[in-house]
């Protein structure tokens, strides 16, 4: 490590993501989100569509919006409250419903327009391997670097159902987080064939957070007509812990091994290995990261808490395929035109049983974590 980088790490920034508290009906929550984050939402739209155009020669925004709206009816069918929130968001932000949906189905649109990327390393540890008996879950979230400028932490308290606290890009109503019933839901990108118009993948975490147990969440996720593939890692305060690899047509459940679960961006379940479409350096990167996470979790068995997890999520010991990915790593993984613009834009640790989140802007080796807790409900 060079001297300038060492000095930077000794003086981590305390800058944090903007935090918002929204409360009311689902439509009102969407309106509040749109109004409070209007500038970031417009910036998100511009940057997302420009990236598609610049890197992947995607057609006009109108064609992208038309593709996004095809998912509308599936959201209305399986989670009408989500559609209410999306409509409210459009009203509050002063954008069209199609633009609002474009922000929700980014991954599906990337697939339509033939883009691929690896995203995120997740973990969950059961009570028997933590320092104080309280289970933990979380992830390093890897996306294009500009999402570090666009993302927010939102506490939503609906009139009906659990409150949620999520890290998410502004204008996207679901990404990763916890609810006040003690459930945590996090996710990874996995690649398979057979993507279709259906219930969008990012909404699976928000759908899981309408539940009070992992078992209930697994059944609910399995019941919807899914558009695409996503890995979900979930944990509840009753001790439930599970990883669910999903493809459009089926799911496969992975149980914790000695209280530890980790995932990255390739299929692990024997039932889904034939579905894998990640290849080459991207597959190697994913395999190295999951192995590194499992190794570090096991090495810290019995000592795991939020502070220890911060050290683990800052790890770069498996360079160039690191848990904490910084600018420049992608060029080492896939030099030249194949290089992506992915970094660890955020890092999240959750203690769902106690309603706590620790979140750092990424890369987390350059930023401090900030603790968030649920507000008291009236």
Domains of the chain: which residue ranges? 116-373
Q: What pLDDT, on the 0 to 100 scale, is given for residue 8? A: 52
Integer angstrom CA distances of residue 158 from 163, 179, 283, 373: 6, 11, 40, 17
Q: Kindly list the averaged pLDDT for each block of 10 residues, start to end, along the chain of length 378.
A: 51 98 99 99 91 71 90 99 99 98 91 67 98 98 94 98 98 99 98 96 99 99 98 98 98 98 98 96 95 99 98 97 92 51 96 99 98 90
Alpha-carbon torsion angle 178, 35, 341, 245, nearest 10: 30
Q: What pLDDT, on the 0 to 100 scale, is given for residue 53? A: 75
Q: Are 122 and 231 in contact (CB under 8 A)?
A: yes
Q: What pLDDT, on the 0 to 100 scale, is given for residue 376? A: 87
Find the helix or strand (DSSP H, E) in which 148 lies: helix 147-150
Nearest one of 268, 246, 248, 247 to 256, comparing CA atoms? 268
Q: What pLDDT, on the 0 to 100 scale, is given for residue 338? A: 45
Q: Which residues contact 5 (CB under 8 A, 6 or more apart)?
A: none
Q: Are 137 and 233 in contact (CB under 8 A)?
A: yes
Alpha-carbon gap, residue 241 to 124, rounded angstroms = 7
Integer angstrom CA distances of residue 294 from 77, 183, 189, 256, 310: 38, 22, 18, 11, 15
Return the residue matching tokens 């890369």. Answer: 363
Torsion 20-24-27-28 (CA) sign: negative
Q: What pLDDT, on the 0 to 100 scale, is given for residue 317? A: 96
pTM of the entire predicted model: 0.94
Q: What pLDDT, on the 0 to 100 scale, is given for residue 330? A: 73
Tokens, residue 151:
């993302």
Q: Which residues contact 325 (CB under 8 A, 6 or more apart)?
A: 140, 142, 342, 343, 344, 363
- Count of CB atoms within 10 A of residue 301's CB? 14
Q: What is the DSSP letter of 348?
A: E
- Across the beta sheet with 230-236, what order do the strands follow? 19-24, 151-158, 164-169, 176-179, 183-188, 230-236, 241-246, 251-254
Q: Are 75 and 199 in contact (CB under 8 A)?
A: yes
Q: Is the peptide bond before 320 cis (omega within 30 degrees of 0)?
A: yes
The CATH number that domain 116-373 falls under is 3.60.60.10
Q: Map residue 135 onto helix, strand or coil.
A: coil
Strands 19-24, 151-158: pairing kind:
parallel
Q: What pLDDT, on the 0 to 100 scale, is given for residue 65? A: 92
Q: Are 216 and 189 in contact (CB under 8 A)?
A: no
């Amino acid at each position: 490590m060079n001297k300038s980088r060492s000095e930077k790490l000794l003086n981590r920034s305390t800058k944090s993501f903007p935090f918002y508290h929204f409360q009311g009906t689902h439509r009102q929550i969407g309106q509040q989100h749109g109004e409070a984050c209007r500038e970031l939402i417009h910036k998100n739209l511009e940057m997302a569509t420009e990236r598609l155009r610049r890197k992947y020669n995607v057609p006009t925004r109108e064609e992208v919006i038309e593709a996004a709206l095809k998912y509308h009816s599936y959201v209305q069918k399986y989670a009408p409250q989500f559609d209410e929130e999306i409509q409210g968001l459009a009203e509050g932000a002063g954008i069209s419903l199609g633009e609002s949906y474009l922000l929700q189905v980014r991954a599906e649109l990337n697939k339509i327009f033939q883009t691929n990327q690896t995203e995120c390393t997740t973990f969950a540890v059961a009570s028997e391997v933590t320092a104080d008996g309280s289970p933990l879950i979380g992830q390093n979230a890897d996306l294009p670097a500009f999402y570090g400028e666009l993302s927010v932490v939102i506490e939503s308290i609906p009139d009906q159902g659990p409150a949620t606290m999520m890290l998410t890009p502004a204008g996207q109503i679901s990404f990763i987080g916890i609810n006040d019933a003690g459930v945590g839901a996090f996710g990874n990108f996995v690649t398979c064939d057979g993507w279709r118009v259906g219930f969008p993948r990012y909404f699976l975490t928000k759908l899981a957070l309408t539940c009070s147990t992992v078992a209930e969440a697994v059944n609910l996720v399995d019941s919807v007509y899914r558009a695409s593939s996503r890995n979900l890692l979930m944990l509840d305060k009753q001790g439930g812990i599970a990883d669910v690899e999903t493809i459009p047509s089926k799911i496969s459940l992975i149980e914790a091994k000695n209280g530890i679960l980790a995932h990255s961006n390739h299929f692990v379940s024997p039932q889904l290995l034939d579905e894998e479409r990640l290849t080459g350096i991207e597959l190697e990167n994913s395999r190295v990261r999951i192995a590194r996470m499992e190794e570090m979790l096991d090495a810290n068995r019995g000592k795991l808490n939020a502070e220890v997890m911060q050290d683990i999520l800052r790890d770069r010991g498996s360079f160039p395929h690191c848990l904490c990915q910084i600018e420049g790593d992608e060029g080492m993984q896939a030099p030249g035109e194949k290089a992506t613009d992915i970094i660890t834009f955020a890092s999240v640790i959750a203690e769902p049983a106690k309603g706590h989140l620790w979140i750092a802007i990424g890369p987390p080796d350059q930023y401090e974590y900030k603790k968030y807790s649920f507000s008291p409900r009236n």
